[in-house]
Amino acid sequence: MKTPPSHKYRRSAPGTALTAAAAVCLLISGCSGSGDAQSESSARVSGASGLKVAMVTHGAEGDAFWQLVRKGAEVAAAKDGVELTYASDADAAGQAKLVRDAIREGVDGIALTLAKPDAMKGPIAEAKAAGIAVVGLNSGIGSWRSSGVLQYFGQDESVAGRAVGDKLDDLGAKHALCVIHERGNISLEARCAGVKKAFGGRTDMLYSDGTDMDALTESVAARLRLDHDIDEVVTNGAQFALAAVKSVHKAGSRAHIATFDLNKELVKAVQDGDVQFAVDQQPYLQGYLAVDALWLYRSNGNVSGGGVAPVLTGPAFVTKTNVASVAKLAAGGTR
C-alpha cells in the first residue's frame, strides 16, 4: 500500500481550467464510487463571477467514480465562471482538515461529502460562522440536515439498496453476499442494509479492505469457496464488481455479480454478461449540481429542495437491455 500523501490543501496552476466553451462542447459530446485509503488531488477552474468554491470529498485519488464527480463540478464551474478547487482525503480527519484549509482561504462556498458526518459537523459549523455556504453531495443523505448543510445532492442509499433487493428477488436469487469495502462508511452500510431488508432470500455481509484489491478479490473468493449456496455477489463500486468477477472464477462459483455504481469498464462487463446489472447514482450530475447550486445561491438566493428535501440523482438500473445507450455516454466521460 502506498504511503498516503500529506493533507496540505493544494491548487494547480490556472492553466488547467476549462473554458465555458469547452464545457458546452463536453456536455454536447456526453449526449452522443479504489485508490489509497488517504488521497488528495486538486484542480482550479477559473472564471469571471469572482466566486470561489472548494469541493472536498472522501474519494480516493484516481478512482474513476470520483473523476466523474470532479468532471461534473469542473464543467459547472466553467459555465458559471466560478473558481473551483477540488481536494480529497479518504480519512475523515484529513477531510476535515481540508475543509478548514478552504475556510482559511476565504472561499465563498464549500461542497463536501458526508461519508462520516460526525467528523464534518465541526468544520461545517466553522464555515457557516465565517459566512460560507456549504452543500452536501454523494454521502450522508440521512445526516445532511442535522449536519447543517444548506442543500444535498445524491442518492438515497437505503432506497437504492431496497431496490436491489427487489431486483434480486425478480431474478430468482436465493443467497446474496454484500461486500462492504470501507467499514464505517454510512452510505455503504445503508446500501447493504437496504438489500437485506427487501431481499426475500438470505443476505450476508463481507467486510474487506478496498485499498488492497488483491486481498479483496481473495476474500470474496474464499467466502464463495466456503459457502457454495451464495448465488449473488453485490459490490459497492465498479472496480470491486470487476474484482468479484475474478473471485467467482477463482472459486469455481456460479454466483452472479451485481453492483452499485459504474464506469466504462463496468459498462463493458454488463454488455459481456459478466455483471448482471449496476445501480447508477450519476456522480457527474452530483458534482455538477453541487457547484451550480452554490453559484445559484450566491448569485440569486436559490435553494434547491427548499433546504428541507434532498435532490435525488439515483437510483437508475443499468442492465444488458439498456446498457448500449449508457455506453455512449460513458465513452464521452460523463457516465
Residue 74 forms part of a structural domain: yes
Range 276-289 average pLDDT: 97
Residue 9 forms part of a structural domain: no
**Under 8 Å between Cβ of 271 and 323:** yes
Residues 32 and 126 in one domain: yes
The rounded mean pLDDT for the chain is 88
pLDDT at 47 (0 to 100): 55
Residues 289 and 214 in one domain: no
The pLDDT-based confidence of 175 (bands split at 50, 70, 90) is: very high
Range 42-60 average pLDDT: 78
The pLDDT-based confidence of 310 (bands split at 50, 70, 90) is: very high
For 32-41, 74-83, 199-208, 272-281, which range has the lowest pLDDT when averaged over its residues?
32-41
Higher pLDDT, 264 or 303: 303
Task: Output the pTM of the full model.
Answer: 0.79
Crossing angle of helices 264-272 and 323-331, in 10° steps, is: 150
Residues 209 and 148 in one domain: no
The pLDDT-based confidence of 153 (bands split at 50, 70, 90) is: very high
Query: Residue 31 belongs to what domain range?
Result: 14-155+282-314
CA distance 116 to 49: 32
> Chain centroid to CA 318: how far?
16
Give the helix ranges, DSSP H, for 116-237.
Answer: 117-129, 144-147, 157-170, 186-198, 213-226
Residues 143 and 22 in one domain: yes
Range 221-246 average pLDDT: 97
- Give yes or no for residue 35 having a pLDDT over 90: no
Range 304-325 average pLDDT: 94
Residues 136 and 244 in one domain: no
Name the grid cell of 35.
485508490
Structural domains in the chain (count): 2
Residues 122 and 248 in one domain: no
Residues 99 and 198 in one domain: no
pLDDT at 41 (0 to 100): 41
